Amino acid sequence: MSTNTLTRSEVGGKSGDKIFSGATLAAGCLILAVLFGVAAFLVIQALPIFSADPTDITGGEGFGSYIFPIVIGTIIAASIALLIATPLGIGVALFISHYAPRRLAQGFGYLVDLLAAIPSVVYGAWGYAVLAPQLAVGYGWLAENLGWLPIFEGPASQTGRTILTAGIVLAVMVLPIITSLSREIFLQTPTLHEEAALAMGATRLEMIRMAVLPFARAGIVSAAMLGLGRALGETMAVALVLSGGALTASLIQSGNQTIAAEIALNFPEAFGLRLSELIAAGLVLFVITLAVNIIARWIISRHKEFSGAN
């Protein structure tokens, strides 16, 4: 008989291997299916809005002029959050990874992670009840002394429930994301490169600038983008803190609104065309988040050659 003896396998577990690879494939497909399902839901439900009479849409001037102010509001709130949280998060992460004594660093790391465990509604309540009244005093000062800047134009909100307060609350919320991701990356810096820098007479700061930060660059961008993703989509905290309204340039007056808060505040009473409107707003938020991620990936890939991966 001329059967190929190599086709007969004496090792067991071949079927186990197949089952496992099938399971991973299914898990991978499931993610895609969910993603496409959500996207399809958003598009189908939002469709009526594009054929509707512009005067029927909230504001009476079509979907474009309805969505534009809240897109800008969303971007302002998220940018404030990121501007505050990124440098702060990198600083905290560097302290934990390279400056703090080892025992202190560990406890401190847990503490920062704990910040992420606080529910967003609690942040919202804190921002509303504690932070906003405190900041209102500062806003009064800003309006008096820096009022010539459009972003600090008075009259300042008496309650402090402004887009700047919302941005600061968001910053506190995204801080643990940025910090813990950056810290993990900083800790992975090859000792080889840190020692290379130290051995030529670099101080600790110079070593961090020469070896740690370049190595962690892509990681920091991803951390910031993940933080931005949370800041863009955060609903409850903004809905509680911000006393929303029309788009204004001033960050210390009431006014402005974010997409997520707009949807949350209006969804329970919405039906018909209004419902489609809110879902279309959700679609816009989805597209913004997607764009942010694509841009982040592009930034990371631009310097691939110098990343040390080759």
Partner 1 sequence: MSNRIDVKDLNVYYSKFLAVEDVNINIEARSVTAFIGPSGCGKSTFLRTLNRMHEVIPGARVEGEVLLDGDNLYDSAVDPVTVRGRIGMVFQRPNPFPTMSIRDNVLAGVKLNNKRISKSDADSLVEKSLRGANLWNEVKDRLARPGSGLSGGQQQRLCIARAIAVSPQVILMDEPCSALDPISTLAIEDLINELKAEYTVVIVTHNMQQAARVSDKTAFFNIAGTGKPGKLIEYGETTTIFNNPAVKATEDYVSGRFG
Which of 42, 78, 197, 225 touches partner 1 by CB under 8 A? 197
Interacting span for partner 1 (CB under 8 A) from 109-117, 133-141, 198-206, 280-288: 198-206
Choice between 163 and 197, CB closer to partner 1: 197
Q: Which positions from 55 to 94 touch partner 1 by CB under 8 A, shown as an x/- string? A: ----------------------------------------
Place of tokens 């959500």: 38
- Is residue 103 involved in binding partner 1 (CB under 8 A)? no
Nearest to 136 by CA among 160, 153, 163: 160
Smallest gap from Cβ 125 to partner 1, in A, equals 43
Question: Given its phi and psi angles, is residue 290 left (phi above 0), alpha (psi -120 to 50 degrees) or beta?
Answer: alpha
How many residues touch partner 1 under the rule CB under 8 A: the total is: 26
- Is residue 310 involved in binding partner 1 (CB under 8 A)? yes
Say how far apart CA 56 and CA 73 lie, in whole Å. Answer: 23
Residue 17: count other Cβ atoms within 10 Å of its Cβ: 9
Token readout for 170 is 């968001």
- Is residue 305 involved in binding partner 1 (CB under 8 A)? yes
Asked whether 243 and 161 are in contact (CB, 8 A), the reply is yes
Token readout for 144 is 């008096």
Nearest to 139 by CA among 122, 152, 150: 152
Q: Which residues from 10-49 bind partner 1, rule CB under 8 A?
A: none
Residue 272: count other Cβ atoms within 10 Å of its Cβ: 9
- Is residue 301 involved in binding partner 1 (CB under 8 A)? no
- CB-facing half-sphere around the CA of 190: CA atoms within 13 A: 9
Interacting span for partner 1 (CB under 8 A) from 40-48, 163-171, 194-202, 249-257: 194-202
- Is residue 306 involved in binding partner 1 (CB under 8 A)? yes
Which of 52, 59, 126, 193 touches partner 1 by CB under 8 A? 193
Asked whether 190 and 215 are in contact (CB, 8 A), the reply is yes
Choice between 1 and 309, CB closer to partner 1: 309
- Is residue 199 involved in binding partner 1 (CB under 8 A)? yes
Choice between 101 and 268, CB closer to partner 1: 101
Which of 125, 196, 247, 275 touches partner 1 by CB under 8 A? 196
Say how far apart CA 280 and CA 270 lie, in whole Å. Answer: 13
Residue 179: count other Cβ atoms within 10 Å of its Cβ: 28
- Is residue 95 involved in binding partner 1 (CB under 8 A)? no
Contacting positions for partner 1 (CB under 8 A)? 102, 190, 192-203, 206, 210-211, 214-215, 217, 303, 305-308, 310
